[in-house]
Amino acid sequence: MIRIIGALVGLGFAFVVLLSFGFDTYNAATTKAEKSAEYVFYEESHGPDGGFAHDGVFGKWDLQQLQRGYQVYKEVCSSCHGMKFVAFRDLADLGYNEDEVKALAAEWVTVPGVDADTGEAIVRPGSPTDYIPSPYPNQIAAAKANNNAIPPDLSLITKARHHGPEYVYSLLTGYSQPSAELKAEFPDFETPDGLHFNKYFPNLNLAMAPPITVDGQVSYTDGTEPTISQMSEDVAAFLTWTAEPTMVERKQKGWPVLGFLLFATILAFFAKKQIWSAVKPKKAK
């Protein structure tokens, strides 16, 4: 008797679950969701006109662009964002020689260290073996300085975002005021104090203030005109390199591999024909 009651109770629970699933499925299929301002006016990210030099299967790093991107990061982005997975010695891959790498590292005078005499924590100039430091000692300090929003580390940011290089470029160039169409369709939409409207950010309101605001904010030494678009493109390319420094090398190695596979496939095809050439197929009766 107890088993029968238990089975009936189980069947009852199963029936209720199936009934709930059926109602939820019906409601999801027939109820039209209301579109929010974020859904309607959020724009998909895009890259610069002509794309990046590293795009495509034949793409290559533009070392001058990567050096300019590092300069933009150093002079603009590093005040809020660290790069804990990038060592100063890695900058040699951008075309800097050993002395230049040492000089670039020494420009950072806030690298955490230890006093050899007292054992106390100090800050010191960087060396090539150091990693690019965070501007904040901990996340609490980072949140306090940025309206409770902790700036992300930028070492791998282009790998952590969909279409990362295009996302970074669009975000840096996408600050503006809400359009008249948005205000007309969503009168209640607003950008709270401490946030900034950006049409390429998923919820349109971003805690990060516009980092690149005027042309010429960074002075390039190679003669390139430092427009907002150019500086955004350069730092996006640099962050692509920091996230995947071997990307171009991997592409270049892929072509010999594909060539070998094609040759091996052709060789195997002719070998098969040679081996089976003496075997005559049986005629169907």
Residue ranges at the known binding site for heme c: 77, 80-81, 208
Q: Are 122 and 51 in contact (CB under 8 A)?
A: no
Radius of gyration of the chain measured on its C-alpha atoms? 29
> Among candidates 185, 173, 85, 196, which has minimal Cα distance to 132?
85
Six-digit token string for 267: 């060789």
Residues 246-267 as b or e (16 or more Cβ within 10 Å = b): eebeeeeeeeeeeeeeeeeeee
The label of the residue with tokens 């409601």 reads 27
Six-digit token string for 77: 């982005």
